Structure 1
Amino acid sequence: MTYGVSGSVERITPWALGAAVFLLSLASVSGSMGVESTLPAPVLAVAAAASGVAAARARRSPWPLTAVGAIAYAWLVMWPAAVVASYYAGTRLRRRDLWLYAGGAIAVLALGGLVSHRGEGYRALVAGTFANVVLMGGALLVLPLVVGLWVRARRQVLDALREQARQLLREQVLRAEQARGQERARIAREMHDVVAHRVSLMVLHAGALEVGAPDERTAEAAALIGGVGREALSNLREVLGVLRSPDPARGPQPTLADLDRLLDQSRDLGITVNRHDEGEARPLSPIMERTAYRVVQEALTNVHKHAGNAETDVSVRYRPAELEVTVRNSPRTEAAGDLPGSGWGLVGLRERVELVGGRLEAGPRDDGGFQVLARIPAA
């Protein structure tokens, strides 16, 4: 709305100026605001109209208005066009053209004074004496020209300030990007120093346990721990690469095609996991499938932490406009013990789902179990 009003004002202003110059020109030659002319009214109206049209188009070029103003002043002492022409000369003309304009204006003033001096009556008295010519030159030439130069200088200062503000904004954005890059690198170093080191130790101990296991079951458990640890290290390397990169371009990310492998990992840890698919499966955008995978992954992680080996159902429903993913586990077993967690898993998961336009609901069930339900747009 603001832009529309501003555009309307920009279109109306030139013609309003032209109308004002036309009316003032008529007042000038009628004697109410200048020297009365004895020419027929139609001729005066045409001269005033020409001044008004030239003033309305002066934004494109001040030279037509300059020519009209010079003729009108020398012929009829019609001053409004000359005033507007001097103002636009100050705002638009370059230094060389300004000197040319000033020389032409002085010549026109001198010519008008000479014509008025040879005339008779009131015109000779008002515009034909040397003192009045100088006075009218200051009013019609110098003052509007100075105002135009001041307006142009002010515009240039404002433009320079705007450009400086844009430059400062660009520098601020650049500094913020640099700060983010440095923070990402710091986080990557800390994660490598703390997490990667300890996971590597876990994998080494699991390998040693597998080699020296007293029985086959222990060896299988050690092999499983080592495999999970090595996969965690691989995922951690991907995350560290993203954090170190100034323009994070992710490598291959898991999708719904990898869901069975994720469920098998939980089954290998002793949890009964049942998968249920409903609806006709169809390809979705990678970000939607990745979000669905992360929902199941985080929900199963919470089952491992807080519900022990509780039986878990994973449902994937393909609906016309959305993909519905549900992870529901039965009540926790007596042997289950809470493992430490960050407390931000479901919060981050909800943000991930909402970023793609979906909804996440998570909470306890009436039977004592827990349910995570995500509805993800399928578009």
Structure 2
Amino acid sequence: MASTAVVVRRVVDRYASPTLAVVVAGAVWASGSGAVGVRSPLPSGLVLLLALASGWAVWASRTRRWPVFLAAAVGWLVLAAWPAGVVASYQAGLRLRGRRAMTAYLAGAALVMTAGVLVGLAVGGLRQITTATPANAAAMAAWLVAFPMVAGLLVRSRRDVLTALRDRAERVECEQEARADRVRAEERARIAREMHDVVAHRVSLMVVHAGALEVTATERATVEAAALIRSTGRQALTDLREVLGVLRQTPVARSADSGSGDDPLRGLDELIRESRAAGLPVRRRDEGDPRPLPATVSRTVYRVVREALTNVRKHAPAAETTVCLRHLADGVEVAVRNGPSVAGPALPGAGLGLLGLQERVELLGGRLEAGPADDGFIVRALLPVAEWS
């Protein structure tokens, strides 16, 4: 229903002016030729010229008002033609704003109507009866000036009311959006507090116990496992602090293990070392001419590799995995490919990691692909560098 109304309004806006111009031109010609008014003694060519000029003035009235006012005055005085006068008075009520402009138009209309009475008295005959007698002069004034102007004022008043209602609705919508933003911010802060209370406390205990085990254990394998647990827990606390900072909308310091800096190579090596220590066979391959990367691109490369290796450990334990970093002329491509799982059950996952990763990559103008490949799985991201240099 709404779409139909929009289409109708567009059609009206597009064709109303030319259609009205043709109607006015035809009506002025009919009035001057005597079909619907007083026949003019002027040559037919001059009557046709005045009719065409009146039609053009009506067509141009959307951008310029004076042509239709002039056409109305000339048409009434020369031909006693009323169509252009009706349009002029309607446009005056619709578009003239301010007491001074309305008073000026009414004064001009009164002057033209008075001059029309004088012309009718001078010409005599049917024109004098039609335009110069008191009753007919008053009726023509009402028909040419009063009624069309009142109609224009009513339409303008309705438009002003609709505009005011639309502005009010937009203000209410903006206020609702601002209120919703405040509610979301408060909810984020509440979630951040709950995450800190629930998760940070448990992870901190894990780090403390792992540190104690690292100090007291006698077997080398146990000491290494405890050290890995402690470092992983500390990294988890750092990542959790970053997430909480985003939820609270407060800036947080960048950690070294999040891939900050101009070169992600050290962060990638640490990720690969941790995965190997956890039992995942990972090898790395670099292609192209290595060069420093912008910090934003560097962090995204790190996130892609971390998420991909995490997914491999979850869904394909002990699978052969390759991390490939290709330096291109205008960007960098990182790909993590793993073979089929050879040992261990798959761990549950929320399925949101790759979705968030795709959003992060696309924010940088890049492209992320993830899907099965050769009985395994591949995650590939292509990131432009020139835009962030």
> Which residue of structure 2 aligns with residue 297 of structure 1?
306
Alpha carbons of structure 1 residues 165 and 196: separation in structure 2 relative to 1, 3 Å: same
Match of 1:91 among 84, 89, 94: 94
Match of 1:20 among 2, 20, 23: 23
Match of 1:55 among 30, 54, 58: 58
Q: Is the 8 A contact 2:61 2:68 kept in 1?
A: yes
Structure 2: gaps of 5 or more residues: 385-389
User: Structure 1 CA distance, aligned partners of 2:74 and 2:132?
Assistant: 16
The Cα offsets for residues 177-216 of structure 1, whole Å up to 9 and x where unpaired, read as: 2233223222211211111111111112222233333455
Alpha carbons of structure 1 residues 23 and 263: separation in structure 2 relative to 1, 3 Å: same
Q: Is the 8 A contact 2:304 2:357 kept in 1?
A: no
Give the C-alpha shift of residue 237 in structure 1.
Answer: 0.8
> Which residue of structure 2 aligns with residue 368 of structure 1?
none
> Which residue of structure 2 aligns with residue 100 of structure 1?
104
Residue 33 of structure 1 aligns to a residue whose secondary structure is coil
Q: Does 1:263 align with 2:272?
A: yes
Q: Does 1:315 align with 2:309?
A: no
> Which residue of structure 1 aligns with residue 387 of structure 2?
none
Give the C-alpha shift of residue 373 in structure 1.
Answer: 0.1
User: Structure 2 CA distance, aligned partners of 1:68 and 1:284?
Assistant: 71
Q: Which shifted more, 31-40 or 274-283? A: 274-283
> Map of 1:232-247 to 2, 5 A cutoff?
232-245=236-249
Q: Does 1:113 align with 2:117?
A: yes
User: Structure 2 CA distance, aligned partners of 1:64 and 1:198?
Assistant: 82
Alpha carbons of structure 1 residues 278 and 49: separation in structure 2 relative to 1, 3 Å: closer
Q: Is the 8 A contact 1:276 1:313 kept in 2?
A: no
Match of 2:337 among 327, 350, 363: 327
Give the C-alpha shift of residue 77 in structure 1.
Answer: 1.3
User: Structure 2 CA distance, aligned partners of 1:359 and 1:207?
Assistant: 39
Give the C-alpha shift of residue 89 in structure 1.
Answer: 0.5
Alpha carbons of structure 1 residues 378 and 306: separation in structure 2 relative to 1, 3 Å: closer
Q: Is the 8 A contact 2:305 2:323 kept in 1?
A: no
Number of residue pairs aligned between Structure 1 and Structure 2: 366
Alpha carbons of structure 1 residues 324 and 148: separation in structure 2 relative to 1, 3 Å: same
Give the C-alpha shift of residue 244 in structure 1.
Answer: 0.9
User: Structure 2 CA distance, aligned partners of 1:215 and 1:317?
Assistant: 37
Residue 39 of structure 2 aligns to a residue whose secondary structure is coil
Could you tell me which amino acid in structure 1 is paired with residue 55 of structure 2? G
User: Structure 1 CA distance, aligned partners of 2:252 and 2:47?
Assistant: 75
User: Structure 1 CA distance, aligned partners of 2:308 and 2:42?
Assistant: 96
Q: Does 1:76 align with 2:76?
A: no
Alpha carbons of structure 1 residues 184 and 9: separation in structure 2 relative to 1, 3 Å: same
User: Structure 2 CA distance, aligned partners of 1:74 and 1:142?
Assistant: 18
Match of 2:42 among 17, 20, 39: 39
Q: Is the 8 A contact 2:76 2:85 kept in 1?
A: yes
Alpha carbons of structure 1 residues 243 and 315: separation in structure 2 relative to 1, 3 Å: same
User: Structure 1 CA distance, aligned partners of 2:249 and 2:40?
Assistant: 81
User: Structure 2 CA distance, aligned partners of 1:76 and 1:329?
Assistant: 93
User: Structure 2 CA distance, aligned partners of 1:288 and 1:295?
Assistant: 11
Q: Does 1:206 align with 2:216?
A: no
User: Structure 1 CA distance, aligned partners of 2:373 and 2:180?
Assistant: 38
Could you tell me which amino acid in structure 2 is paired with residue 274 of structure 1? R
Q: Is the 8 A contact 2:271 2:306 kept in 1?
A: yes
The Cα offsets for residues 107-130 of structure 1, whole Å up to 9 and x where unpaired, read as: 322332233234422112222211
Residue 78 of structure 1 aligns to a residue whose secondary structure is coil
TM-score by length of 2: 0.79
TM-score by length of 1: 0.81
- Identity within the alignment, %: 43
Query: Superposition RMSD on alpha carbons, in Å?
Result: 3.6
Q: Which shifted more, 231-240 or 12-21? A: 12-21
Give the C-alpha shift of residue 228 in structure 1.
Answer: 1.9
Match of 1:377 among 359, 378, 382: 382
Alpha carbons of structure 1 residues 127 and 32: separation in structure 2 relative to 1, 3 Å: same
Residue 58 of structure 1 aligns to a residue whose secondary structure is helix
The Cα offsets for residues 93-118 of structure 1, whole Å up to 9 and x where unpaired, read as: 12422123223323322332233234
Q: Is the 8 A contact 1:29 1:76 kept in 2?
A: yes
The Cα offsets for residues 4-53 of structure 1, whole Å up to 9 and x where unpaired, read as: 99999767654543343232212111111111111233333343344333
> Which residue of structure 1 aligns with residue 350 of structure 2?
344
> Which residue of structure 2 aligns with residue 168 of structure 1?
172
User: Structure 2 CA distance, aligned partners of 1:306 and 1:208?
Assistant: 31
> Which residue of structure 2 aligns with residue 194 of structure 1?
198
Q: Which shifted more, 197-206 or 17-26? A: 17-26
